[in-house]
Structure formats: C-alpha cells, structure tokens
Amino acid sequence: MAEEFWGKGLGTETARTLIDYGSKTYSLKKIIGACTTGNIASKKILLNNGFHFIRQQDNAFQKKELSYALLYFEKRLRK
C-alpha cells in the first residue's frame, strides 16, 4: 500500500471484508494469517481483526541472503 494511505485503517477494513466474504461464501471455519516479525502494520491488522498468535517459524524463508521469521495467527469463524 502506498505510504500516503498508511494509518487510515484501510488494511484493517480490507481484511475485515475478506474475512466476512470467506465466512459467508465458503463457510470457512478458520483463517490463518502470517507476516514477518518486522511487519508491525500487518501484525496490527491481524490482531485488530480478532486473530490470535499461534506460533513463530524462525528461518521461514530467505531473501537476498537474509533469513526471515514468520508469525502465524489464527481466527476461528465457526464451531
């Protein structure tokens, strides 16, 4: 997302819309989200949409000789 749109709640609202669509259209029971440990904005979007942290995967992938960890979050939609 372009920096000029940061902090306006657009990511949170987009995620909320996609969660609602997935729940209603596909009867999803849960959704898993992931982001790198340094991606604070994505982590905040997941938490603001009711996701709960489930685990961290160290050395999940490499890019330009750097290793990145991923944080995994889960949101249960139906029982």
CA neighbor of 68 nearest in space, from 34, 45, 44: 34
The whole-number pLDDT of residue 6 equals 80
Mean pLDDT of the residues in the chain: 92
CA neighbor of 15 nearest in space, from 36, 53, 41, 38: 41
Domain boundaries, the chain: 3-76
Q: Using pLDDT thresholds of 50, 70 and 90, give the confidence band for residue 79.
A: low
The whole-number pLDDT of residue 78 equals 76
Give the global pTM: 0.86
The whole-number pLDDT of residue 16 equals 95
The whole-number pLDDT of residue 15 equals 94
Assign 3-class secondary structure to 10-68.
HHHHHHHHHHHHHHHHHCCCEEEEEEECCCHHHHHHHHHCCCEEEEEEEEEEEECCEEE
CATH of 3-76, one of 3.40.630.30, 3.40.50.1100, 3.90.280.10, 3.40.50.300: 3.40.630.30
